[in-house]
Amino acid sequence: MTLAPARPVTPTAPAPTATPTRGGRRVAFGWAVACVVALSVVSLFVGVSALSPGDVLAALTGASGAAGRDDLVVLLVSRVPRTVAVLLAGTGMAVAGMLMQVLVRNRFVEPSTAGTVESAVLGILVVTLVAPGAPLMAKMGVAAAFALAGTALFLRVLRAVPLRSVLVVPLVGLMLGGVISAATTFVAYRTDLLQSLGAWTTGDFSGVLRGRYELLWVAFALTLVAYLAADRFTVAGMGRDVATTLGLSYRAVMNLGLVLVSLVSAVVVVTVGIVPFLGLVVPNVVSRLLGDDVRRTAPWVAVLGAGLVLVCDLVGRVVRYPYEVPVGVVVGVVGSVALLHLLLRRDARVA
């Protein structure tokens, strides 16, 4: 009996992964924007002071008299500024995190894991000690300069580290931020500024009122600048050699990105405090769905960043009503869980 030669087995190609079409992305983006708008409306009527859409309507028509005027004051002086501040801060920090990840080429890097926000807090402490009567713009400028210096120090330390794996880079940033934070706490302790330091390091929107949040529009303008230069950041994220080959000034784009990240971080820290891990969670989620094209992903990152901070702010307002849990605490819990999930993923090495 003769055996027939075995027929070669042709491996079956895996089914292609379905990717959303351009029309599908537009529809999904529209739904995301609609959800953020709906949450913003809800945010206007959540708080200790009782306020409902009916109260606002009665106040606008003049049917509620003096009580209606009080309702309008609460709405225009407190609720609207707070909601706008949440949206602006969430947008700015999420896009800043995306820029850092693209430029450093690491999924686990963002302002709170690279020593950037800790350096900004140190800058605020220094200007408070040296010139306590300085205007808010001066404090923002000093905080931005310290944030830029801290980010540059982080990159300099990375160049000296022989092993630059995906997991080592954020650990270096966390250790650097810990050292800067420890030094800041020591100086604040010796100068009786620990209470002020706590206000700067805990993201909290409860004190946001009209006239105390407008600086965040600077962060929004910087976010628009980042979007206008999106293609340059995408090319720079491919590496120095690729960027140089395509005729792009790699150093200039890197400097622009680091300046934008530092300014946005300083503005948010000066206005509402630190919102940790926001720039880590949102860009990673968007990147896994849409890739690394900054022009394509930036609007998604901005909208989802604003939505995440808005949800966390609402949770902080209702979980211990009538008291509030600072939004920095809620975002920190969500972000730390997300960071651990990303670090422990099996494919983290190729993230």
Residue partners of 90: CB distance under 8 A and separation at least 6: 275, 278, 305, 306, 307, 308, 309, 310
Question: Mean pLDDT lowest for which of 29-33, 122-126, 346-350?
Answer: 346-350
Tokens standing for residue 297: 């992903």
| Share of residues in the chain with pLDDT > 90 (%) | 11
Q: Is residue 83 part of a domain?
A: yes
At 75, which CATH number?
1.10.3470.10
Tally the domains of the chain: 1
What is the span of the domain harbouring residue 183?
58-350
Q: Is residue 3 part of a domain?
A: no
Q: Is residue 230 part of a domain?
A: yes
Q: Is residue 187 part of a domain?
A: yes
Q: What is the pLDDT of residues 61-90, one digit of tens each?
A: 766 666 667 778 778 888 889 999 999 999
Inform me whether the pLDDT recorded for 91 exceeds 90: yes
Contact 248, 200 (CB under 8 A): no
Q: Is residue 329 part of a domain?
A: yes
Q: Is residue 318 part of a domain?
A: yes
Whether the model pTM is above 0.95: no
Q: In this structure, what is the dihedral angle of CA atoms 99, 105, 110, 114, given to the nearest 10 degrees?
A: -120
Q: Is residue 26 part of a domain?
A: no
Q: Is residue 294 part of a domain?
A: yes
